Amino acid sequence: MNIQRIHAIFEKDIKDFMKNMMLLVLPALPLVIALLYALTSEGEAELPLPLLYLIVGMAFSGITSAMIMTMMAEENEKNTLRGLIQSPASFVDIIVGKSLVTGIITLISLVASLMIVGIEPFLEFRVILGLILLFLFFLLLGIGIGLFSKTVSATSAYLMPVMLLFGFTSMVGTFGFAEDSMAITITDTFPIMQAIKIHDSSSWMPMVVITIWIIAAAIFTYVCFRNTMTDD
């Protein structure tokens, strides 16, 4: 990795972020949900974990995945990705530079949102580690989809399933499914649900499961990258 090249990519993407109205709106989404919860739950000691993780899921899917997939799709659409790869900056430099922008924006929005509704349940080492793993999963998933997308507008079609399947997973229990139903059994293995389990037990198995999801997302990203580089 080259720090100067990463810094140059970071500066460029920060400027692009400040000019893109769609990206500027994304960090406000978790804040709006947090404010609504704070107003409607006035007097309650603490929000249930599924609601807190709805905010977490919104931040990671609506900011982390959405931002990075938009930036990668833009490079793909303008046919500049190959030029970047062939430049002195390596693919790792490009990913790290773009991920820094996404990571900083996500961190600011997520911390601010959790402080509104109560950040105390997240001030534990294992929980923080779980959040970092979630960030990596949503980041890699967003990169892969961004590389797969031919245009920026196409990312809108892919973002909605990502948010519904992975961002809002904690709300599946509110749909009235039986505890032993197939829907609950399947979604219990999803990253957000595993992160919630970190609060309820001292087992490290939830982190192992999230790590498996990260590996799957990394493989997906690598395949999309290879296809992008070989696509005529």
Query: Is 205 a residue whose pLDDT tops 90?
Result: yes
Rounded alpha-carbon distances, angstroms, from residue 7 to 3, 70, 93: 6, 20, 9
Task: With CA atoms as reference, report the closest residue to 33 among 114, 104, 90, 105.
Answer: 114
Query: Is 177 a residue whose pLDDT tops 60?
Result: yes
Confidence label for 80 from pLDDT (cuts 50, 70 and 90): confident
pLDDT of residue 231: 61
Task: Please tell me the distance from the alpha carbon of residue 222 to that of residue 119, in angstroms, as a whole number.
Answer: 35
pLDDT of residue 6: 80
The count of structural domains within the chain is 1
DSSP type of residue 87: S
H helices present in 60-190, as ranges: 66-77, 81-86, 91-117, 125-148, 154-162, 182-187
Query: Is 43 a residue whose pLDDT tops 70?
Result: no
pLDDT of residue 93: 78
Task: Please tell me the distance from the alpha carbon of residue 213 to that of residue 189, in angstroms, as a whole number.
Answer: 9
Rounded alpha-carbon distances, angstroms, from residue 58 to 87, 91, 101, 154: 35, 28, 18, 20
Angle formed at CA 217 by CA 211 and CA 221, multiple of 5 degrees: 145
Q: What are 211's two structure tokens?
A: 């790590």
CB atoms within 10 A of CB 116: 18
Task: With CA atoms as reference, report the closest residue to 218 among 95, 126, 107.
Answer: 95
pLDDT of residue 84: 67
Query: Is 232 a residue whose pLDDT tops 60?
Result: no
What range does the domain containing 198 cover? 3-230
Angle formed at CA 76 by CA 74 and CA 82, multiple of 5 degrees: 130
